[in-house]
Amino acid sequence: MEESNKKAHHTDMYNSPDLILRRGQSFRLTMEFSKPLKDWQSIVFTVQTGPPNAHSHNTYVEFALSNSWSSGMWSAVLESMPGNALRIIMSSPANAVIGRYNLSVSITVMEDTTTFSLGKFTLLFNPWCLDDEVYMANEDERKEYVLNDHGILFMGNEKHISPLGWNFGQFENNILNICMDLLDRSLNYYNDPLADCSQRNSPIYVGRVVSAMINSNDDYGVLEGKWEQDFSDGVDPNSWNGSVEILWSWQRDGYKPVKYGQCWVFAATMCTVLRCLGIPTRVITNFNSAHNTDGNMNVDMHYDTEGKFLEIHDDSIWNFHVWDECWFMRRDIGNFYSGWQVLDSTPQEQSQGVYRCGPTSVTAVREGDVNIDYDAPFVYAEVNADRDTWVVNEDGSKEKVFSDSKYVGKFISTKAVGTDERVDITHTYKYPEGSPQERAVYEKASRIMLFYRPPPERPNVSYNTSTSENRTGNEQPMQPTRPEINPAPSSHNVNTLPSIPERNVLPPMNERNRTPSLPERDSLPRVAGRHATPSLPERSVLPPVSGRHATPSMPERNVLPPVSGRHATPSLPERNVLPPVSGRHATPSLPERNVLPPVARRHATPSLPERNALPPVAGRNPFHPMSGRNVVPPKPERSLLPSMSGRHVLPPATGRNPLPPMSGRNARPSMPERIPQPPVPERNAFRVTPNESDSELPDVTGKFKILSPLVLGEDINLLLVLRNLTPFHRPVKINLSASCTLYTGRRVADIFSDQKSVIISPSQDAHISIQIPYSQYQKCLNNGNMIQVVALCELPFGHKVLVTKDLVLDNPPLQIKALSKAVLHETMTLEIRFKNPLSVPVKDCSLLVEGSGLVDRQLTAVVPFLKPKEKIRFRVEVTPYKAGEKQFIVNFKCKHFSIKGYKLLKVASK
């Protein structure tokens, strides 16, 4: 087959002698014979992929040589017959199965048929083909998201975002073959090879398979995750500079999981695989990323009375989390949701019984349509969950000290097209924080979650223990013993998560506050449009409302008796029935229990006493009469009775002071005298919620100020500033603490604690200086250089203020300088300079060098010893073997730190 095909198909960058094509595009081949071919009756071509002994209409196709094209099908047209040869133009459909193909031809002459093998080729997705589901119109974006073999990841925290160079290397030697092996080693292929291969025409299906195979929790996937500090039996995740060494190691070791990876390693490796297969992909970083396990859109963070973070809940907020976005159509859920799709291979939660996530439409996340495939509730919570902060007292009671709807999902970032700049894409995931649209979408998503059931889990697959040699092509996959599950940490257990088969379904309540039985997922229709409310099942669901104040007709079994008289109120059944509303302000007489009060117009706030207000009481039927347009039902509160929700939210009230009876046209129903109390003592010490002016504000606010640069090896100097907001003196007791943390928020070691007491004058500030010497954090600092400082301030009347600050210490710069020009196939020299940032000597250091198109293998230099503050210089010679812009990556690592840097080189052709 002709080499010109590779260039035409944008596959000439692959370091492979095999023919690599993209679907939906024609290619040329020439068949040469020993003598001119005459009097032939038919020429029939056969393309076959997948298991050799099983065929389907997608994996085995026969098509004859003809004089015209067949649209949407495999076809071949005779171009010319020069001498003893036939020149053929062949094309594949835009929805052809991707994979490794065998091509053969059967020629019939004088009733005699002879079959010849024409060789093998690999077929990929085609972002240049208008009819392909992965089509991307912009050429610069195709170059960035398909052809660029290096990139930038972003790490740190929202106040300290650091770039990290990464070698994707999707065109390097044998990477394409490894990616095809990855598909052939999935659970889907193991269960039914033919069915699996037949579905590889869909980027949705392939994306889900790859998402599961990058981690090793359910199969012998590529990477094993670990979030502890001991990586002695593998590779520290911070030591990886690219995906190539990871994928090579996976194949070299017999397709056993590579140790170890964390979220950015999983995401970057999956980006390599997907770009290699032809799916446009980019790496995304979400700062303050929530991990919400129970589907209630709230993440609870707990601290003890000394200000130390408590790992008593599965919810967590990571400083950052990294996933991928892929570009393709979503015909399965509607073209409105086409475009960028989230895929996450970090093993956090199971999706249909397998550790994977996505594809989730970014548009669906922005619009709050969390009931569509796949895993939308989990992704939505990662960028939109509300954070509630609690202090746990010594007696086990809890006090909510802060509620923040703006903390989660900050500075969602990716690399810019054509440059190494950071692009903020937060607006693609949600409307501006605190805006009416953002809160409306939040309430919409919360409402849908009340009735959402995740798709049924797939049956577990039990592997039989066996061994096999490294295989190529489409041989039978290895059948390893099912590996031990090792998901990403949530909180108290860093390596395991409890199985949550229905994480997005509210748990059943007790008899007094029972919830209705939830409909099956398949009975829920899709939600279309920004404010659409799903049509719900017949028996316990509010039917459509027509007209501005129309009263819905109720389901067949819950019909109300007719109402007579102008202001008559029907006699209501005891439970589960809502009365119709008549008149503009009429309010039905409610039963004693289990019925929600009516909600007024869209932005109305009920006129309630500021404190001791009666919250609505949860019942079996969670619906209530609605008036106005786009009314949002109240958001469920966690571990408490539901409270009214809207733009001005009043804090939940407790006690024995119900609303007094009213009379007249706007009379409210009489309510029970006593309100049920939650099982655990919980009260708001104070609550500061953005855009909620009626919330109770604290007497004192605080913040940390950084007094000197945060540099690894130096002391940390901070200033806690507390401001008295009242006209009275305020005594404050302060518990100070600091801990080394992982980027997942998990506390590794406590490094500092202190107590202070001050009296703050009216409307004045108090300043408390804090110094943390290097000697206190040097032994426990992790590779992310992250420290959290906490001040828990106790005020009069039992109020508490919690002030936190996440610190990231800077590594010293690593300087890279090119001493000669970069020219294809000519040796060049680069100089690397860096300095030991510590005041102590370091031993057993190493320097790692990597870069696709520059060095074909990772280079390593050993540095046995460095004196305190010593400067060192290295010179490295490389010979570029690919032209264009290339990334030279350097990593200097030792036990105490890991310093990374990169430099872009433009390699000129001769």
**Residue from 134, 130, 167, 124 nearest 21 by CA:** 124
**Would you tell me how many other CB atoms lie within 10 Å of the CB of residue 595?**
25
**Residue from 545, 574, 546, 547 nearest 558 by CA:** 574
**Residue from 580, 577, 645, 638 nearest 608 by CA:** 645
Counting other chains too, the contacts that 270-273 makes at CB distance below 8 Å and 24 or more residues apart are 270/210, 270/211, 270/214, 270/324, 270/343, 270/345, 271/151, 271/168, 271/243, 271/324, 272/168, 272/169, 272/170, 272/175, 272/243, 272/244, 272/247, 273/170, 273/179, 273/182, 273/210, 273/214, 273/243, 273/247
Q: Tell me how far apart the alpha carbons of residues 889 and 903 are, in angstroms, rounded to a whole number.
A: 7
Catalytic residue selected from 219, 344, 388, 699 = 344
Mapped onto helix, strand or coil, the DSSP state of residue 652 is coil
Distances (CA, A) of 267 to 24, 179, 323, 346, 476: 28, 15, 5, 7, 28
Look at phi and psi of residue 577 and say left if phi exceeds 0, alpha if psi is from -120 to 50, else beta: beta
Strands, E assignment, 332-476: 339-344, 350-351, 354-355, 357-361, 386-392, 398-404, 410-415, 422-424
User: Which one-letter amino acid corresponds to residue 153?
Assistant: L
Catalytic residue selected from 129, 179, 197, 263 = 263
Q: Tell me how far apart the alpha carbons of residues 533 and 545 are, in angstroms, rounded to a whole number.
A: 11
State yes or no: is 373 an active-site residue.
no
State yes or no: is 845 an active-site residue.
no
User: Which one-letter amino acid corresponds to residue 418?
Assistant: G
Q: Tell me how far apart the alpha carbons of residues 552 and 544 are, in angstroms, rounded to a whole number.
A: 6
Q: Tell me how far apart the alpha carbons of residues 575 and 593 are, in angstroms, rounded to a whole number.
A: 8
Mapped onto helix, strand or coil, the DSSP state of residue 779 is coil
Termini Cα distance of the chain: 28
**Residue from 167, 151, 155 nearest 419 by CA:** 151
Read off the tokens for 662.
């009213």
Query: 205: which residues sit within 8 A by CB, 6+ positions away?
Result: 199
Residue 404, beta-bridge partner list? 387
Q: Tell me how far apart the alpha carbons of residues 699 and 701 are, in angstroms, rounded to a whole number.
A: 7
**Residue from 859, 866, 869 nearest 891 by CA:** 859
State yes or no: is 131 an active-site residue.
no
Read off the tokens for 60.
């085995």
Distances (CA, A) of 762 to 288, 297, 697, 722, 727: 35, 38, 16, 12, 5
Query: 445: which residues sit within 8 A by CB, 6+ positions away?
Result: 297, 368, 369, 370, 377, 380, 384
Catalytic residue selected from 9, 321, 624, 896 = 321
Vertex 614 angle, CA 384 and 641, to 5°: 45
Q: By the 8 A CB rule, do 336 and 528 touch?
A: yes
DSSP string, 47-61: EE-S-TT---TTTEE
3-state DSSP: the chain helix, strand, coil percent, rounded to 5? 15, 30, 55
Identify the sign of the CA torsion 341, 345, 351, 354: positive
Q: Tell me how far apart the alpha carbons of residues 807 and 804 are, in angstroms, rounded to a whole number.
A: 10
Q: Tell me how far apart the alpha carbons of residues 186 and 165 are, in angstroms, rounded to a whole number.
A: 30
Q: Tell me how far apart the alpha carbons of residues 545 and 555 are, in angstroms, rounded to a whole number.
A: 13
Q: By the 8 A CB rule, do 402 and 684 touch?
A: no
Mapped onto helix, strand or coil, the DSSP state of residue 94 is coil
Positions annotated as catalytic residues are 263, 321, 344
